[in-house]
Amino acid sequence: MRSETLLSITPALREALLRNRFDTGTMLEALGPEVHAALGRSEPVPVRRATRELGDLGVLIRLFLLADDCPAGDVAAALTPLTIAQCVDAGLLEGENFDSENPLVRAAVDLRPIDVGDGDRWVISDLDGGIRPKKATADHVLGVGHASLSLLQATPTAKVGSVLDLGTGCGIQALHANTYADSVTATDINQRAVDLTAATMALNGLDVELLQGSWFEPVEGRTFDQVVANPPFVVGEARVHHTYRDSGLDLDGASELMISRSIDYLNPGGTAALLASWVHIEGHDWRSRIASWLPAHGVDAWVVQRDVADPALYVGTWLKDGGQDPRDPESASRANAWLDHLEEADVEGVGFGFVFLRRTDSPTDLMAEDLMHGFSDPLGAEALAYFDRLAWLREHDVLEERFVLDPDTALERVYLPGDEGWQQVVTRVHRGNGPHWQHEIDELGAALLAGLRADGLVVDELVELLAAANGEDPDQLREAVVTLLVSLVRHGLVLPVTN
């Protein structure tokens, strides 16, 4: 029986990490940008060469970031005041031949620094096999991957009282939530995830409520100001191979559960930021599928689809993620069964993206749309602004209001060569910040937007002038203008003038 646990050695481990400045800024400075980039690409050779002259910091980089076998004496010096025996007993290190003249040890877990927005934190998870091959076990705790980082960057960070991180995994979202919330509750069905997150929080000197249990069961009857979740959303059979990605629910049942139930655990006005996947069924609109998961009343929802994968690519990607060789007969058999299941359900693709929810006292409003193009601004602030704009639209008649263009909104005209020279084919407005939305408009729409002024006419008066000047029916033009402005306000290209 172990006399030490990761949690019990965190005070001494923190002391060692701080002493050696095992943080992102120091490593970037010590390694240089080129070698640091190689580290990000999981290319160990340049990193090993660069760490030769870095002393104890170099030892920690090789030990935890390269998963190298390192001389026990060097590791003991770097991790002082911890001993090798304590680290092995606690599950931080592993090795063999400790009675030999030059014993070697290696990391038994992944330990790395990450900047979550207000300085460095350390995250403990299971080794992912990126540099040292390692097959994921059923209770594998995934580290900070692309999905985790994308959710972190898309999460609203306005100050709130309480946050629920459901399915915390390695705890990265809970770490992030500590930068903007007064209290954080994190749950996971996987006891190992709860244990590693407890060690992560203690290592960072943070107080987080940790609960073990399935889905919302650990917090039944409670509500929060914000819910964040990177749940096990992999689309497949109703089986669990790895708890970090398989829900045990058929197809996109995990996403349906999260989207349909999160609102019940939000305080009035509270928000949720979720990663989710949904199937594209032949002959059906994916937007309608998500709409069927929402209640008829009490939620505003903004769903952005970032990617759609065909079944073959989807299955192959997730098999490799689990450390399986697609050429292996066992893996090939599983791939066939997985693809058969998707085919039987008429799945022609799997969508992936973000779901933002806000609890309201109004009829449900859903906007589900593709956001495939690149953009650099985080979506969290945009989600809150979207909900605020939607609430404004619900309470105001756009015909009686004044609007202005967002300063980053540009008018674009596209011309193509024709028989008589350049011929205009498209007129559109383009928002140069945020998600870079674009909307095609006609010439009357462009004229309307040109007339928007903070101290100018209200929209209904502009419509009357445009109709008279262009021989249009005022009522028909009024209807078209309302539709256009509502769409542009939702996407933030046009903003209401508020007193």
| Cα(80)–Cα(18) distance, integer angstroms | 11
403 pLDDT more than 80? yes
Cis peptide before 81 (omega within 30 of 0): yes
Instruction: Please state, in angstroms and as integers, the Cα–Cα distance from residue 300 to each residue in 17, 36, 378, 408, following that order.
Output: 44, 42, 20, 26
| Cα(24)–Cα(49) distance, integer angstroms | 19
243 pLDDT more than 60? no
DSSP string covering 427-445, please?
Answer: EEEEESSTT--EEE--HHH
Q: Residue 229's pLDDT is what?
A: 94
Name the pairing type of β-strands 403-405 and 421-431: unpaired
Return the higher-pLDDT residue of 345 and 244: 345
pTM assigned to the model: 0.90
Q: What is the mean pLDDT of residues 306-330?
A: 79
Q: Residue 241's pLDDT is what?
A: 62
Q: Residue 1's pLDDT is what?
A: 47
Rounded to 10°, the helix 191-203/6-19 angle is: 40
> 3-state DSSP call for residue 423?
strand
| Cα(34)–Cα(96) distance, integer angstroms | 34
Q: What is the mean pLDDT of residues 82-88?
A: 93
Rounded to 10°, the helix 24-31/33-40 angle is: 120
pLDDT of 437-486, one tens digit each? Answer: 999 999 999 999 999 999 999 999 999 999 999 999 999 999 999 999 99
| Cα(378)–Cα(385) distance, integer angstroms | 12
Q: What is the mean pLDDT of residues 96-119?
A: 85
Residue with tokens 């749309």, as numbered in its chain: 369
Q: Give CA torsion, residues 350, 356, 361, 364, to 10 deg.
A: -30
H/E element, 212: strand 209-212
Half-sphere exposure in the Cβ direction for 85 (13 Å, CA): 2
Query: How many residues in total does the chain contain?
Result: 499
Q: What is the mean pLDDT of the chain?
A: 90
Least confident window among 71-85, 230-244, 464-478:
230-244
Q: Is 50 exposed, middle or buried (0-12, 13-18, 19+ CB in 10 A)?
A: buried
| Cα(355)–Cα(110) distance, integer angstroms | 29
Q: What is the mean pLDDT of residues 224-252?
A: 77
pLDDT of 31-63, one tens digit each? Answer: 999 999 988 888 889 999 999 889 999 999 999
| Cα(48)–Cα(420) distance, integer angstroms | 64
131 pLDDT more than 60? no
H/E element, 353: strand 347-363
| Cα(392)–Cα(398) distance, integer angstroms | 10
304 pLDDT more than 80? yes
pLDDT of 249-258, one tens digit each? Answer: 778 889 999 9
H/E element, 335: helix 329-344
Return the higher-pLDDT residue of 265 and 149: 265
Least confident window among 42-51, 64-73, 135-144, 459-468:
135-144
**Model confidence at 235, in pLDDT bands (50, 70, 90)?**
confident
396 pLDDT more than 60? yes
Q: What is the mean pLDDT of residues 314-324?
A: 74
Q: Residue 226's pLDDT is what?
A: 98
Q: Residue 371's pLDDT is what?
A: 87
Q: Residue 255's pLDDT is what?
A: 93
